[in-house]
Structure 1
């Protein structure tokens, strides 16, 4: 039996009225305690584990309803949270169910001074902020209210703000990338268009065949296109002058050459000493050489004019080549040529007299360059839809760097021992003109064994 009432303990029963008041004040942001002035817990509301630490509903996760929200949750958030850290909701809370609470902030509140304190959970996963405020009745503190919340709300707010910031950065980067791509594409397309115009204005042989359409824009590319157009225009005038120079020279030189020739003929009709006759013979030889040069220049000019005015007709290429080669065999001897001509008719659209002239230039070229006692091989075959004519001879090889330009005007690779006749480099130029007229192509190559040169002409078959 206990005789002294002070030895009897006390039983603390939470007040229903206080619980109702706390439930009315409770929210998802924090946990609230009410203690008396003996630090005993009178009531509790809320759970610190499920508290987001923010007194607002703006952080509640809502289900994705739009395509952007679904894209953000499925793709952007996993990327963002490789850098960001999510708040931990699972942590150890030693005060989740206690009958009495201790702390300097509670002691200060029971003394009438509000106070707060920070504490770290035992597992170091969360930081909890506790704020205590005194309860006054008639100027007497009878208890305190303690509100607790974690820093998860602040971290969540930070993550939300960084998510929006990252979204803005991605949007700016996307807009900037698209803008730069569009700008770069526009510049590159204008440069490609200028390149195509420049390439179309000049053919494979370097002749000016068109004009560059310049742009009216005031930027650097527009200025470059205008400069190109001006350059091509001036080059076109200069190349026209060069191309017509042979016809002008031949026309202008015919009269003085005729005067010199007639004067020499008149002098030869007079009695001359042996020394004077020698000089007259040299002068006559020079005049004849000059006449051949004029004839060659006139031939190229006449051929260009003839090609421009010629009308294409269908003819048998095999028959033309066979007839021409029979004439060469009669003139130079059958043993000089090795023939391999296809007997099948090869119908080609063009002018047979031009083909004969082409063959004449190539045969003369082979005769001048071939080595003594060697033969000239001539073959005509059909490959796919093309007639292929090849003329090869043993002799000096083509020099490096001139293979692609050997068919240009005024280009010759003859050495001094091959200059017995005047040459202006127009023979193979005429060959190329004739091939272009027949929509074909001509190619000069060194033989694989390094003993000579082969010329290949390809013409399309009708």
Structure 2
């Protein structure tokens, strides 16, 4: 018996889980690709910083300039008031340089440079290990971020314009933007804008801001996404497990039941039908259960057929043994001839019985393999009746007994059916042969052909003694034989009508029999009716 892996180790279970979870893993991988979003945020921050620097430079050029004959110069006190009014020291640092590149004002210096104020990061600013690991994984998968290639930002005492290339660019009248990396991680963004009055450069404004707030925003978004992914992963895993087990359990029960049947379980063993399920697994279960019952029925039919064969062979074999034993002891020539005739007759009976049994046993397989075609029942019956009338067939017997055969069918009407011509001919040949056998001298066999809706009906009637009472269904059983008076015993095997029903059923039709009665209820003969589905062209 095949061994099944534990349910939770089933390959099908893990395939279902993998298919359902891979999409979530792809979504989780999207967390690693927030670099583009970060770059856009930084670009937007640089743009706003540039606008802010231009506004401050314009305000200083308009209201913080001392005009004199020796030349215009920046008013440090007025510039300080503007910086205090326009710049948020917690987010942005402002530095103002004069035309010679000397640092005039720094927003981090309060009260004439005696006190320095700097916004410190919060105590909880240390990044969670998971986010650090995600950044490391991102660097490994998509390469290090562009921050790694930027120059390091350094604070120097006695700063001058020469320490910042962007300030040098501003002092010649150009706006310049730069990014530098911080030693503790993140970026320092800087924008330098010239301070002009009547297009004359009087100095430069340098605004700087770090990317700490942006990185904190991204880390917060990453944490939110990871929480959603983790929750979705757990829910999807549970639902996938439920789905996989809902598929695996009934399939495993079907497999185990099939194995028990295969290895000789009793016929009481049944395939579970899963009646409550309305999906494909339920349909499969019920189909397999029905197939198993059909196989059981087929085995029963085979067993009964084998028993019937043994019973039917037993009689001629017993007669053959008795005759052969008696032949060895008989001394009279006449007795010996009679015994030899009995032995020959028994051999013929056994040969006929074996031939019919062989045909009945291979009939199903032959009907399955045979190619069906559309044929006209009127033509088939007319050809069959012509052959029956032939003197080389039953024509001589018909002439001696004065029996006539008639075919009744509408003139030009066609009666198409789909079937195997040889086997359908065998059915009606058997019915006509039986009708002839039971017909009295001068009798008439009538074959009628009609169409009712989507079915073709063929009736074969005779004027014989009719069917025994209650034998309307028994005559279609195997080895049932009811022969007319005067016919030698063993002439027929009793399989003819059973084979006929088997053929008709295989063609989607049915066959039944009853007696013909007159108005007084007297039996006037037998009538066999064959119904076949019409095959409209």
Greater relative contact order (Cα < 8 A, sep 6+): 2
- Please report the TM-score for the alignment, with normalisation by the length of structure 1: 0.43
Identify the structure with the greater helix proportion. 2
